[in-house]
Amino acid sequence: MFRKTDNDLWLGLEYEHGNDSAPILTPQKSSFICPTTCPTGVTDASLSFTNTLGGRPVAGAPVETVKNFNTYSWRAEWAVADRGPHSWVAMVQGNGTKQDYRSGASAERSLAGVYLRYFYMRTYGFYASYAHDFKYKYTRNGTTADFGHNNNKNITLLWNPAMNVSFHFVYNPNSTNAVFSEASLLPPGTNVPNSNTTSSWSFGMEYSF
């Protein structure tokens, strides 16, 4: 909307309908080198991708096949490049999906979140995100498993001392993992905290040559 390459505002609205999506409960991984589980000593981390819609799998959830789905997404994104020593991207986004499965079950999820990525002198920076689940439910045979109204947070510290060298430190405080069990299928309208909370961190370095 600002019509400037170094300072612009983007607004987006998307809607999709179809039958070729992966279920949001159990994302599916496709590997270019390991057709099944990779053998000991082999990793396909950089040669695989996960087809996921929603980004929050449920541990122990039934494997379903999508019959049809409807999903929407909206966002407002403000991008600023090299305003003095500062550069940043700030975004607010929301999306929701409804999936019907061939088994007769269905799943729904809606969430919204904010994201900020900032760099000083293109060397020191961070990005952080926060998202809230307004709805995340799985319904089968008239009963519903409610995976709660959870918050997910992330912060990553960045240091790029050279054009081809970068360091990053990732911290996920109090992340909520959804867990499914047959006992979690209760009468509709019953809220059950089918989840556990954990924290994690990681440190990495990337070098390009």
Alpha helices in the chain (DSSP H): none
Q: Flag whether 62 is in a domain.
A: yes
pLDDT at 195: 59
Instruction: Please check whether residue 69 lies inside any domain of the structure.
Output: yes
What pLDDT score does 27 carry? 73
* Domain assignment present for 88: yes
Predicted local confidence at residue 186, as pLDDT? 59
179: amino acid identity, one letter: V
pLDDT of residue 52: 58
In a domain, 23, yes or no: yes
Residue 190 has a pLDDT of 52
Q: Which of 71, 69, 56, 54 is nearest to 19 (CA)?
A: 69
pLDDT for 46 = 74
- Total domains in the fold of the chain: 1
pLDDT at 74: 96
Please give the pLDDT value at position 189. 53
pLDDT of residue 152: 85
Is 2 a member of any domain? Answer: no
> Would you state the pLDDT for residue 82?
92
pLDDT means per 10 residues, the chain with 209 residues, are: 86 94 81 81 78 70 92 95 94 95 95 96 95 91 84 93 94 82 61 66 91
The answer to whether position 124 is within a domain reads: yes
Amino acid symbol at 104: G
- Based on the number of CB atoms within 10 Å of its own CB, is 90 exposed (0-12), middle (13-18) or buried (19 or more)? middle
Write down the pLDDT at residue 194.
Answer: 53
For residue 86, the enclosing domain spans 7-36+44-207
Q: Count of CB atoms within 10 A of residue 171's CB?
A: 16
Task: Report pLDDT for 120.
Answer: 97
